[in-house]
């Protein structure tokens, strides 16, 4: 008998049509089933889906299909994070309108996602650039304004002086604009801010409740919020002639215990004092320009070599009036943190130490190990950072000497508070969320600026404020701002001529509530509370680790803001979070450094060469797929060649989902071979004819097969629940291997074995169905089932089959395995000890030494200690 090979293309099209006809993945309305909300981070419509999407959406789809089979009313929606810079770049580069470009990309990507066979409720689809979506965003912003959640204030942006445009950090390369190549300048701009810092403590505290989030993400958020307990206090200032300077210098520190080790003060380049002094101090003015050229990215600022200039001012030590600390403007002090000013204690802070060494400032240790002689303790090129408990004590610190760090902090705080020069203060690293963008392709900020009334929200009945279509991208800058008519409106409050806000929202706002909108995508209000109460929070959220901080933190804040304004009833949007790894692929380069597509690399005599030219190539590390490195694999081509099921199967196999997966030819081939092998197995089993009654008893072979498959069924269920897809797949392989092994090629098997094989086949297909749904439907039909496997309940395993009467116990002597013991599962400890000591391997290893004790871990291991 020869079986035709499984031909994925037509089969997949056919079952997709069948699901479509039955509306199989519409979210059920009935409340008889428990709700379950699976969500993958929605894509930016960049043009085509990439392998990262395939991986992300396959994982969510497996969970959605599994949960449906387990009886849940599953919400599994899809939409588009459709505003953003790439659309404007396309407009500038190719003259295509951002809306046209975006919607065309959405059409392409929707088709590609459909080809993957994802079990999505497409009736809920929306794009964030649809006015029907962003009008609600505008409405909520107006409510946020009324609730005091929004501020308008001045902040810094990267300014390209040639293109006259604001640059994103990623558009600043080595301090220069990416298009113009001109050195960037920092500029102040009035912008809208969301008061996320009002929630800093709550966002921090609530992390403890997010037990189903990866610990590393919670830790990253904790550090990002960066709560610290310290002191804010003010130094008196004098100039170089010893004359008092008004106002003094207010600093924030968490190490007030080290005040006697202070050897300088430093202020940010943007500190008001630095600005003021720069007028008369050319060196300082030059320094400020240099710092401005670094742009606004914290990374660039902190990576820059420590560098500063004297301001000519001196701070008077609060406890030693004769000590004057020089005040520098320094490039490592950030205006956005604390007071934008610090005192430097070089002995106990690495940055301060580097700075002090560079400018020849004194380094006095004030904290030392408790067990060393203070006079002999000094600090070289490494700061002494220890500060905990009784292991350290204060030295060289006047009234603080011999105290612990904590005691010293308390004492300083007490004295400063008593004298009124400072107070204890909790500070957060988290800054308020600037949401203004000087761009066209984003949600218009629904505000009108009036000469007399100030910033007035657009009346709700006038929403949405839509983007004008007739814009040009032939020059840089914001097309909304230079549009001839759009911004000219009457003030809604006084009726005078006024101007629309021409900034648009940060696209992070769009993605901060889309998951809530999916619960009721057609509602007249932003969210229908009944629908949201049913499905929120998202039960399982899946996406890339690159969103670990910003997107997830903004969404957490937004949910709270929505609650405050009556648009939600909960605080936390995502009950469980899973962060999947990237898809990577090997890279090849020519000697010249030019990247070569892996498809052109072949091995000849052990060396990699170009297939056509024979030019020598070097194999680089596997890296994230990117066009620039020419190592992308197109999902559409893979699906056309192998089918969606094979691509999905490969994406789930072998590599743990949270880790980076390497795309390999052999891997996708292996997945494809397994599909074919299962296909043959199914035919072999259906060849035995229709099913019989379940046999009263099973022989050893049949029992063994059933044991493997039922165990796999239990494990696959547990693994899918925990998103350990690679392990689930290994268990499916084990079942298929056991089934192959049980089926003799020539002889007809006994009826009990046929029955067991039929059961095993059905279970394997059901276990594999969430991963390769089209193939499973095809096989399910072949096995004689009328109903779709998509509508079939997940099978139950037989607990009795999982318990074995005898077990295999490894036996160690002094921790090294020497033998194995086959013994009854419920054997008594004494019996196990006795049997273990009698084993050949144990006797040999003991070589007559007396046994000191025997450790028996029931069901696990025996260790004989000699």
Partner RNA sequence: GCGGACGUGAUGGAAUUGGUAGACAUACCGGACUUAAAAUCCGGAGGCGUUAGCCGUGCGGGUUCGAGUCCCGCCGUCCGCACCA
* 596-635 residues near RNA, rule: CB under 7 A: 621, 624
Write the interaction track for RNA spanning residues 261-300; mark x where CB under 7 A is met and - where it is not.
-----------------------------------xxxx-
In sign, the C-alpha dihedral spanning 733, 735, 740, 741 is positive
Shortest gap between Cβ of 98 and RNA (angstroms)? 11
Contacting residue, 434, 695, 699, 858, with RNA by CB under 7 A: 434
Give min distance, CB of 400 to RNA, in A.
25
Give the residue carrying structure tokens 């899809």: 78
* Minimal distance, residue 722 CB to RNA, in Å: 8
User: Given the complex with RNA, which of 461 and 666 has the nearer CB atom?
Assistant: 666
**Which residues between 817 and 856 bind RNA (CB under 7 A)?**
817-818, 820, 841, 844-845, 855
Return the residue of 275, 289, 351, 487 that touches RNA, per CB under 7 A: 351
Q: Compute the least distance from the CB of residue 650 to RNA, in Å.
A: 9
Burial 357-393 (b: 16+ CB within 10 A, else e): eebebebbbbbbeeeeebeeeebeeebbeebeeeebb
Inter-residue contact 243 to 277 (CB < 8 Å): no
Task: Say how far residue 342 (Cα) sits from the centre of its chain.
Answer: 33
CB of 380 to RNA, least distance (A): 15
Which 497-536 positions form the footprint of RNA (CB under 7 A)? 506-508
Only segment of 461-469, 556-564, 727-735, 779-787 that touches RNA (CB under 7 A)? 727-735
Q: Which is nearer to RNA, 303 or 694 (CB)?
A: 303
Angle at 146 between CA 141 and CA 149, to 5 degrees: 65
Which residues, numbered 654-673, are part of the site for RNA (CB under 7 A)? 654-656, 659-662, 664, 666-667, 669-670, 673
Region 132-171 residues binding RNA, contact defined as CB under 7 A:
157-158, 166-171
- Single out the segment in contact with RNA by CB under 7 A; choices: 50-58, 445-453, 610-618, 724-732: 724-732
Member of 324, 551, 630, 707 binding RNA (CB under 7 A): 551
Cβ 790 to RNA shortest distance, Å: 25
If the CB atoms of residues 69 and 728 are measured against RNA, the closer one turns out to be 728
Nearer to RNA, 119 or 163 (CB): 163
Measuring CA to CA, which residue among 803, 801, 821 is closest to residue 811? 821
The mark string for 317-336 relative to RNA (x by CB under 7 A, - otherwise) is -------------------x
Q: How far is CA 182 from the centre of its chain?
A: 33
Using CB under 7 A as the binding rule, whether residue 409 contacts RNA is answered as: no
Site string for RNA, 195-234 (x = CB under 7 A): --------------------xx--xx--xx-x--------
The residue among 551 and 774 lying less far from RNA, judged by its C-beta, is: 551
Terminal C-alpha separation, the chain: 62
Rounded least distance, CB 434 to RNA, Å: 5
Residues 6-65 close enough to bind RNA by CB under 7 A: 43-44
Q: How far is the CB of 812 from RNA (least distance, A)?
A: 6
Site for RNA in 758-817 (CB under 7 A): 808, 810, 812, 814-817
Return left, alpha or beta for 360; rule: phi > 0 is left, psi -120 to 50 is alpha, else beta. Answer: left
Write out the H or E segment, with its range, that includes residue 326. Answer: strand 324-330
CA geometry: angle at 455 spanning 451 and 460, to 5°?
125
Question: Which residue from 466, 475, 603, 676 is in contact with RNA, where contact means CB under 7 A?
Answer: 676
Specify the residue, 324 or 585, whose C-beta has the smaller distance to RNA: 585
Residues forming a β-bridge with 187: 157
Among the residue ranges 19-27, 107-115, 735-743, 760-768, the one whose residues contact RNA (CB under 7 A)? 735-743
Query: Residue 729: in which H helix or E strand, if any?
Result: helix 725-742
How crowded is residue 650: how many other Cβ atoms within 10 Å of its Cβ? 26
From 468-476, 489-497, 651-659, 765-773, give the range in contact with RNA by CB under 7 A. 651-659
> What angle is formed at CA 253 by the lines to CA 320 and CA 366, rounded to 5 degrees?
50
Among 92, 782, 77, 10, which Cα is nearest to 477's?
92
**What is the smallest separation between the CB atom of 581 and RNA, expressed in angstroms?**
8
Please say whether the beta carbons of 753 and 49 come within 8 A.
no
Among 303, 460, 482, 604, binds RNA (CB under 7 A): 303
860 binds RNA (CB under 7 A): yes
Residue closer to RNA by CB (options 230, 318) is 230
* Other CB atoms within 10 A of residue 180 CB: 16
Peptide bond into 677 cis (omega under 30): no
* Secondary structure E strands in 649-710: 661-662
CA distances from 850 to 477, 813, 837, 846 (A): 87, 12, 11, 8
Q: Is 467 helix (H, G, I), strand (E, B) or coil?
A: coil
Shortest reach from residue 39's CB to RNA, in Å: 15
Q: How far apart are CA 477 and CA 502, in angstroms?
A: 11
Residue in 96, 727, 798, 835 binding RNA, rule: CB under 7 A: 727
Phi-psi region of 174 (alpha: psi -120 to 50; beta: other; left: phi over 0): left
Judged by CB under 7 A, which of 189, 206, 245, 823 binds RNA?
Answer: 189
**Residue 204 beta carbon to RNA: minimum distance, rounded to whole angstroms:** 13
Q: Compute how many residues bind RNA; rule: CB under 7 A.
A: 100
Is residue 792 within 8 A of residue 780, CB to CB? The reply is yes
Choices 241-249, 419-427, 637-645, 647-655; region in contact with RNA by CB under 7 A: 647-655
| Minimum distance of RNA from residue 357's CB (angstroms) | 14
**CA atoms of 570 and 111, how far apart (whole Å):** 35
Minimum CB distance to RNA, residue 684 (Å): 10
Query: Which of 546/796 has CB closer to RNA?
Result: 546
Using DSSP's 3-state secondary structure scheme, residue 655 falls into coil
Nearest residue (CB) to RNA, 30 versus 215: 215
Nearer to RNA, 76 or 724 (CB): 724
Question: In this structure, what is the dihedral angle of CA atoms 528, 532, 533, 538, given to the nearest 10 degrees?
Answer: 180
Q: Please report how many Cα atoms fall inside a 13 Å half-sphere around the Cα of residue 405, on the Cβ side.
A: 21
DSSP strand pairing (392-394 vs 35-40):
unpaired
- Minimum distance of RNA from residue 319's CB (angstroms): 29
Cβ atoms < 10 Å from Cβ of 220? 16
Residues 165-184 contacting RNA, CB under 7 A:
166-171
Name residue, tokens 């009886």.
71
One of 110, 275, 425, 431 touching RNA (CB under 7 A): 431
Question: What tokens does 488 get?
Answer: 């000219």
Enumerate residues 59-118 that contact RNA by CB under 7 A: 81, 83-86
| Region of 267-275, 534-542, 739-747, 831-839 interacting with RNA (CB under 7 A) | 739-747
- What is the SS3 assignment for 10? helix
- The residue to which tokens 């993400």 are assigned: 217
The two structure tokens encoding residue 241: 């002639």
626 has which bridge partners?
none
Minimum distance between the CB of residue 196 and RNA, rounded to whole angstroms? Answer: 8
């Amino acid at each position: 008998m020869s079986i035709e090979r499984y031909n994925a293309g037509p089969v997949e099209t056919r079952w997709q049509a069948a699901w479509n006809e039955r509306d199989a993945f519409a979210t059920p309305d009935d409340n008889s089933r428990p709700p379950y909300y699976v969500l993958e981070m929605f894509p930016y419509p960049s043009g085509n889906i990439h392998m990262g999407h395939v991986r992300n959406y396959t994982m969510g789809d497996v969970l959605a299909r599994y949960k449906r089979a387990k009886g849940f009313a599953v919400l599994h929606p899809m939409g588009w994070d459709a505003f953003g810079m790439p659309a404007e770049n396309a407009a500038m580069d190719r003259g295509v309108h951002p809306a046209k470009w975006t919607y065309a990309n959405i059409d392409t990507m929707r088709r590609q996602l459909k080809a993957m066979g994802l079990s999505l409720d497409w009736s809920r689809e929306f794009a964030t650039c649809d006015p029907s979506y962003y009008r609600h965003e505008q409405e909520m912003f107006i409510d946020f304004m009324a609730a005091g959640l929004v501020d308008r204030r001045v902040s810094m942006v990267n300014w390209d002086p040639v293109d006259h445009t604001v640059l994103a950090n990623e558009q600043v390369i080595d301090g220069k604009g990416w298009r113009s190549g001109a050195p960037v300048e920092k500029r102040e701009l009035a912008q809208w801010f969301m008061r996320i810092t009002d929630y800093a403590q709550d966002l921090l505290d609530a992390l403890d409740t997010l037990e189903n989030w990866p610990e590393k993400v919670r830790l990253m958020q904790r550090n990002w919020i960066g709560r610290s307990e310290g002191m804010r206090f003010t130094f008196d200032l004098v100039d170089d002639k010893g004359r008092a300077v008004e106002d003094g210098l207010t600093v924030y520190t968490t190490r007030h215990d080290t005040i006697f080790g202070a050897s300088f003060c430093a202020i940010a380049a943007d500190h008001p004092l630095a600005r003021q002094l720069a007028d008369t101090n050319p060196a300082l003015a030059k320094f400020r320009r240099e710092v401005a050229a670094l742009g606004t990215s914290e990374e660039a600022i902190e990576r820059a070599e420590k560098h500063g200039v004297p301001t000519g001012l001196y701070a008077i030590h609060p406890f030693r009036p004769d000590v004057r600390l020089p005040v520098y403007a320094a490039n490592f002090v950030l205006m956005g943190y604390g007071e934008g000013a610090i005192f430097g204690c070089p002995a106990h802070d690495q940055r301060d130490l580097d700075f002090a060494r560079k400018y020849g400032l004194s380094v006095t240790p004030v904290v030392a190990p408790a067990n060393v002689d203070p006079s002999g303790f000094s600090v070289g090129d490494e700061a002494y950072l220890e500060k905990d408990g009784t292991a350290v004590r204060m030295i060289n610190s006047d009234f603080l000497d011999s105290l612990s760090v904590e005691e010293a902090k308390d004492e300083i705080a007490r004295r400063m508070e008593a004298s009124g020069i400072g107070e204890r203060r909790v500070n957060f690293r988290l800054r308020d969320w600037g949401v203004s963008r000087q761009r066209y392709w984003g949600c218009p900020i629904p505000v009108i600026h009036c000469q007399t009334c100030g910033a007035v929200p657009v009346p709700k009945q006038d929403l949405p404020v839509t983007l004008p279509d007739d814009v040009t991208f032939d020059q840089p800058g914001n097309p909304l701002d230079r549009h001839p008519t759009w911004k000219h409106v009457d003030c809604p409050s006084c009726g005078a001529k006024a101007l629309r806000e021409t900034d648009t929202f940060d696209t992070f706002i769009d993605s901060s509530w889309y998951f809530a909108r999916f619960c009721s995508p057609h509602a007249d209000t932003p969210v229908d509370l009944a629908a949201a109460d049913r499905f929120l929070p998202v039960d399982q959220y899946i996406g890339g680790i690159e969103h670990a901080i910003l997107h997830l933190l903004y969404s957490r804040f937004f949910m709270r803001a929505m609650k405050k304004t009556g648009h939600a009833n909960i605080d936390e949007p995502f009950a469980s979070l899973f962060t999947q790894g990237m898809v990577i692929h090997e890279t090849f380069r020519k000697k010249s450094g030019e990247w070569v597509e892996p498809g052109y690399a072949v091995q000849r005599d052990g060396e990699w060469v170009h297939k056509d030219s024979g030019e020598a190539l070097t194999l680089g590390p596997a890296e994230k797929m990117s066009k620039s490195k020419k190592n992308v694999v197109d999902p559409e081509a893979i699906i056309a060649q192998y089918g969606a099921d094979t691509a999905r199967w490969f994406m789930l196999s072998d590599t743990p989902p949270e880790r980076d997966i390497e795309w390999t030819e052999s891997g996708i081939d292996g997945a494809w071979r397994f599909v074919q092998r299962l296909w043959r197995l199914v035919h072999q089993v259906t060849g035995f004819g229709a099913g019989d009654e379940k046999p009263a008893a099973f022989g050893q072979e049949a029992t063994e097969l059933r044991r493997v498959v039922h165990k796999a069924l239990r494990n696959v269920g547990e693994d899918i629940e925990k998103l350990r897809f690679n392990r689930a797949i290994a268990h499916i392989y084990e079942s298929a291997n056991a089934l192959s092994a049980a089926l003799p090629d020539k002889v007809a098997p006994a009826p009990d074995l046929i029955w067991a094989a039929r059961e095993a086949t059905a279970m394997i297909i059901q276990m594999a169905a969430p991963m390769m749904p089209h193939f499973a439907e095809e096989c399910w039909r072949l096995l004689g089932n009328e109903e779709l496997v998509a509508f079939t309940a997940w099978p139950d395993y037989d607990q009795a089959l999982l318990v074995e009467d005898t077990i295999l116990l490894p036996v160690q002597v002094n921790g090294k395995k020497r033998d194995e013991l086959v013994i009854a599962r419920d054997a008594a400890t004494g019996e196990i000890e006795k049997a273990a000591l009698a084993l050949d391997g144990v006797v040999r290893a003991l070589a007559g030494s007396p046994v000191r004790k025997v450790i028996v871990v029931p069901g696990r291991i025996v260790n004989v200690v000699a």
